[in-house]
Amino acid sequence: EEVVTDVPSLDSLPTIPLFSDLPRDAFIELFERCPLRRFQLGERIIEQGSRGDAFYVICEGKVRVFRTDNTQRVDLAMLEGGAFFGEMALLSGAPRTASVEAGADDTQLLEISAPVLASLSRSHPQVAAALKKFVRQRLLTNVMN
């Protein structure tokens, strides 16, 4: 894993539905404030059961989400550019509900910390509302799996 130092050109980014209502200046500020992290295929990004203090937006590449239930691996999702993950532990304070690993080389993730999410939710409540909507859907998927 490494931190990418150059800010991505905004034109090369995938559409990020979570930020569709975010004004452009706030969007640019977010990319200036948050580190962009790069992972290679198979690298672990999130460990199920650990504590979480950030969530991630996929700027490039893809990730696999899976759960391990008494040594059995259960695949939950493959997420691609524009999607996000790691929001559940942040919103609930509970341990990470699943593990996440890079599904491609040069997977680039914007890492948004809890304090940055808190201030973003204050200034743009629609982002927090969108996050919660996704959490409900994902929890439902996991109960049924």
Closer CB to ligand CMP, residue 52 or residue 103? 52
DSSP conformation class of 86: -
Closer CB to ligand CMP, residue 29 or residue 80? 80
Give me the residues that bind ligand CMP (CB under 6 A), please.
46, 52, 65, 76-77, 85-89, 96-98, 100, 138, 141-142
Q: Is 84 left (phi over 0), alpha (psi -120 to 50) or beta?
A: beta
* Dist CA 120 CA 108 (whole Å): 21
The least distance separating ligand CMP from the CB of residue 77, rounded to whole angstroms, comes to 4
The least distance separating ligand CMP from the CB of residue 120, rounded to whole angstroms, comes to 17
* Dist CA 83 CA 79 (whole Å): 6
* Dist CA 44 CA 83 (whole Å): 17
The least distance separating ligand CMP from the CB of residue 70, rounded to whole angstroms, comes to 18
Closer CB to ligand CMP, residue 30 or residue 63? 63
